Structure 1
């Protein structure tokens, strides 16, 4: 089986960040935020990183020049997270091991969470393992709906959730481990029949489950890992969390 590989979504412009930089290059505690993601992946056991670039792709490539294990895929049009992963199809064509799919704007991702997801994949292989976590305030996150016996049923985005589903505090944190070939199959089934006319990687777990594949939602992520960066307020919150963690470790 192939060694694990990561797809890092890094094509976004980050309009709300009020920066001319691509979002993943906006500094967090004086370092481009994507560097924290790549370090966590490497420390968690993933040495090959497929970085999907788009907005100012040349600058992202230049910034990551010299990073071990980094390869690039170009997303010329930003047509959703599923579309971003599709751009890695050729690089994943013969891959039969684990594929992590993560966001490049989540600098608080933890290496032990990545290692735990990979360990579960090795223990009992699945088509998809979702990394989930619990939030006291789940506002803005997709909810993890479980069925009989606590098994994963579906991810419901907040805008589509019923009042009962909105009360769920287990949320999707956009960190997935897929079997490589199952991922490629699921990408072929994606539709952009939605208001945004985009392809969503969040649809892949449900597609695989409906096809009779094993899909697991694993509660291993820490609340801080939910802090992705979309606004300047998010940036301030992430930097405060990083400084707090550094003080705690000192």
Structure 2
């Protein structure tokens, strides 16, 4: 069962790391020349004040957008501290989404949190803070991360589960005839769609429900890297099944 507490999970590490960034004296700040257009009088705004302004219901939307723009642009430029700051500033929205996922998914909280954080970082690299349609940058990032993670889980399940073994309301994609999942994986390896390692990752963590962190460690990978590579393998497998590439292997 999914736990609803974040002890010893990626979110626990995130919160602790973000608190270290906020600790005084905090060197991270948006310089005065960037605040002149939305803060009067213009001044240097340090990370703790950025957090207070973003969390406050009374802060004008224009100020929140400008602050998020400053944070995101620094993160997108490759600054690791500002990347962590962006995740920490989205904590409230992220935590709510992850708790929601935990209640609906059979996976444990640790894996769900790692997947959502991985997708958050992907969304952070892509978000256009100047897009007027994005009125709440932090909320948008959390929403994208949550739904991308959920979509990826469904795609992986579709690639390895025979619809005839599921109730009709959960069937997502038919496999080839005689489509036992292990046989499908073996055919995919033989056809060069995925390699043996990728088949092993999918079989052990999607079919046998082994702990993903344990499998990732065996292959010398961090958990985020493992999820990224397993997901890519799942997409390749799903495409091969959809296109009928495994039927005559």
Greater relative CO (CA pairs within 8 A, separation 6+): 1
Shorter chain as normaliser: what TM range? Answer: under 0.3
Please report the TM-score for the alignment, with normalisation by the length of structure 2. Answer: 0.27
Please report the TM-score for the alignment, with normalisation by the length of structure 1. Answer: 0.27
- Give the number of the structure whose residues are more often strand, by fraction: 1
